[in-house]
Amino acid sequence: MNKKKIFNDPVYGFITIQSDLIFDILEHPYFQKLRRIKQVGLTDFVYPGALHTRFHHALGAMHLMAITLDNLRSKGHHISEQENEAALIAILLHDVGHGPFSHTLEKSILRETHHEELSLLIMKHLNATFDGKLDLALKIYTGQYHRQFFHQLVSSQLDIDRLDYLNRDSFFTGVSEGTIGADRIIKMMDIYDDQIVIEEKGIYSVENFLGARRLMYWQVYLHKTSISAEKMLSKIIARAKRIVHKKEDIFFTPALGIFLKREISIKDMTNDHAFLDAFCKLDDFDIWACIKIWVDHPDPILSTLSQLFLNRQLFSVKLSNKEFDKDTILHLKEDICQKYKVSTDQSKYFMDTGFLTNAAYISEGQTINILTKKGELIDVAQASDLPNIKAMSKIVKKYYLCWPKNVNL
């Protein structure tokens, strides 16, 4: 069987599968489920074209990694075929731990578990499945390989993951401000003292990258309508869990039912492969199927929330630079109780408050280093002559309040 396949990607054109092992990983059900998980969760509620998947992103990141490694080789750095394949696998699987709607339900379905932990657990399982052939990829992914620049390419302030998702998300949302010169950045990459550095003439491309990332967070990833949709979906899942715990009748798909019935952690999934297998069968369609049926559930809270969500009648959202005062929240709860005939405790299903943070560049611990023509390494925040680059290293915090549109604040 010919496993040297080619994918036609709308962002980069043709993407080549470089080895039989990579093809076999792509064919595995744990990877194929990424076809059914949208890359940017519920962002299509705002930008209708944002229907691309984690599968798209994984392939795109692998493609950019291949180009990057070829570029580094062209500059005289030795990269063996084993290292090349392992780096491609590491970036290909870096997001394989994502569940339904990507980040949206990360804290709703599992207990205290992040997708990075799940990606590592799935990679370890695949490594056992493929007789240890992912050993080197695992070392690169976890930063345990002695050539640290490989890990930087997978996870850092300027990694291949970010280069792809900014380009891809900008393309599919139509938010042109997020477009970055990924090709230019890759061409300017080099290795100095086992670190990924950017040649001095590439500093303007890095400045554009940081600016684009900041804008994409406010305009796409932290768009207030997306936040509203995400909070509504989390409330729906929370209510469904409550109904299950009360032993009341409710429809759920077999995979989702496992996570509604009990709180499952990464430890549970490590100890019992059945939980991991169930998680890897979960995707966006499990959630949509349930919501369409929950619209007619006898529980008025679940049915109301499901109806609103299904028809995109989303919560109102207000953003503020300071926390919302207790009186405002108290009055809102009282109005929700009256409008929806629910108790004070049940009003939590119809509102949410919290905060969002956005920082384009956190230099502490991980810097983007510029290699000057004199051979010196300088943090991009110091090398740049743009004052806003320094400002981007500050974390911006905004508070949000969500509530139904038919309730006056």
pLDDT tens per residue, range 93-142:
999 999 999 888 888 888 777 888 999 999 999 999 999 999 999 999 99
Same domain membership, residue 168 and residue 52: yes
Same domain membership, residue 383 and residue 325: no
Whether residue 93 is contained in a domain is answered as yes
β-strand pairing of 396-403 with 352-358: antiparallel
Same domain membership, residue 389 and residue 323: no
Give the structural domain span for 377: 6-223+373-395
Q: DSSP alpha helices (H): ranges in 217-325?
A: 224-245, 254-261, 266-271, 273-279, 284-294, 300-310
End-to-end Cα separation, the chain, in angstroms: 63
pLDDT tens per residue, range 22-38:
999 999 999 999 999 99
Residue 390 has pLDDT above 70, yes or no: no
Same domain membership, residue 386 and residue 326: no
Among 31, 28, 49, 27, which residue's Cα sits nearest to residue 40?
49
Same domain membership, residue 330 and residue 378: no
Angle at which helices 54-74 and 81-92 cross, to 10°? 150
CA distances from 201 to 10, 68, 185 (A): 29, 17, 10
Same domain membership, residue 324 and residue 218: no
One-letter amino acid at 359 equals: A
Whether residue 249 is contained in a domain is answered as no
Same domain membership, residue 185 and residue 324: no
Which CATH number covers residue 83?
Answer: 1.10.3210.10
Residues 57-77 have a mean pLDDT of 97
Confidence of residue 59 (pLDDT cuts 50, 70, 90): very high
Confidence of residue 386 (pLDDT cuts 50, 70, 90): low
Tell me the three state secondary structure of residue 2: coil
Rounded (10°) CA dihedral 347, 350, 351, 356: 140
Confidence of residue 365 (pLDDT cuts 50, 70, 90): low
Same domain membership, residue 193 and residue 52: yes
Angle at which helices 300-310 and 326-340 cross, to 10°? 100
User: How far is residue 247's CA from residue 251's CA, in Å, rounded to a whole number?
Assistant: 12
pTM: 0.94
User: How far is residue 19's CA from residue 81's CA, in Å, rounded to a whole number?
Assistant: 10
User: How far is residue 161's CA from residue 168's CA, in Å, rounded to a whole number?
Assistant: 11
Same domain membership, residue 195 and residue 58: yes
Whether residue 160 is contained in a domain is answered as yes
Among 380, 365, 371, which residue's Cα sits nearest to residue 192?
371
Whether residue 159 is contained in a domain is answered as yes
pLDDT tens per residue, range 313-340:
999 999 999 999 999 999 999 999 999 9
Same domain membership, residue 165 and residue 115: yes
Residues 264-269 have a mean pLDDT of 90
Whether residue 165 is contained in a domain is answered as yes
Whether residue 265 is contained in a domain is answered as no
Q: Which of 91-100, 285-294, 306-315, 371-380 has the lowest mean pLDDT?
A: 371-380
What is the count of structural domains for the chain? 2
Whether residue 243 is contained in a domain is answered as no
Q: Which bin fits 394, alpha (ψ -120 to 50), beta or left (φ > 0)? A: beta
Residue 276 has pLDDT above 70, yes or no: yes
Same domain membership, residue 89 and residue 79: yes
Whether residue 154 is contained in a domain is answered as yes
Same domain membership, residue 63 and residue 34: yes
